[in-house]
Amino acid sequence: MFRPALAAVMMIAAAAPAFAADAAHPTVVELYQSQGCSSCPPAIHNVNALADRPDVLTLTFAVTYWDQLGWKDTFATPQQTARQWDYARSLGHDQVWTPQVIVDGRRDVVGARPGQIADLLARTPPRVGPALTVATNAVNVGTGAAPAGGADVWLVRYDPRTIAVAVRAGENGGRTIGHRNVVRQLVKLGHWTGAAAAMTLPAPMPGLQTAILVQKPGGAILAAVRG
């Protein structure tokens, strides 16, 4: 018997193509860390090692809740801490911590051992989401099956350099930590509900690269592209 519920699932699958990770559809690896956390350097190193892979987009987010313990992180913002809390709620955690590595907004690990991240990447299925194209001042989001309630479209601008920070106090006092792909701007461009949409980008920021994420609020990333 051909059931209506099954028909609906087949229609959604047909309307939203699956994209395997490649340079045009990179898997998003987010690192939540603080320069004041002594457990973070191994995870920072492991995520940095992925930064040159064309099929992976690594993003380093700095959180604020270690700032009172002797060293204020030079990149931390309340917005980035709030983003980690959104993930905590969607992943079923009652607390946030560092380091935390989140892959495509779906699963997380501490990330201190290289094998943890490699295993998570290997188990991450292809994404089902809209096509994305980025121009100088706009992003075009294609059609597809949006989740209930739609998805957010995020602009992420990050510094692709390795930035060496000499930590002078706190748990990592005396160490120099090299950060890559540090997020410097995070802007919600709009909401996607399944129809094609064009959204205006803010003016470029010198020295920063651009990425666009289409994401279920606080949860799974449906599509990602480098600008």
Overall average pLDDT of the 95-115 stretch? 96
- C-beta separation of 204 from 158 below 8 A: no
The token duo for 51 is 């930064």
Longest CA–CA span in the chain (Å) reads 69
Domain ranges of the chain: 21-226
Nearest by Cα to 178 from 29, 23, 51, 28: 51
- How many degrees, rounded to 5, is the angle at CA 21 between CA 129 and CA 213? 45
Output the pTM of the full model.
0.91
Q: DSSP labels for 75-139?
A: S--HHHHHHHHHHHHHHT-SS--SSEEEETTTEEE---SHHHHHHHHHTPPPEE---EEE-SSEE
Q: What is the pLDDT of residues 89-100, one digit of tens each?
A: 999 999 999 999
Residue 39: phi and psi, rounded to 5, are -85, -10
Q: Percentage of the chain surpassing pLDDT 90? A: 86
Overall average pLDDT of the 146-169 stretch? 97
Q: What is the pLDDT of residues 191-222, one digit of tens each?
A: 999 999 999 999 999 999 999 999 999 999 99
The yes-or-no verdict on residue 152 having pLDDT over 60 is yes
User: Angle of helix 114-122 relative to helix 40-48, nearest 10 degrees?
Assistant: 50
Q: How far apart are CA 152 and CA 127, in angstroms?
A: 16
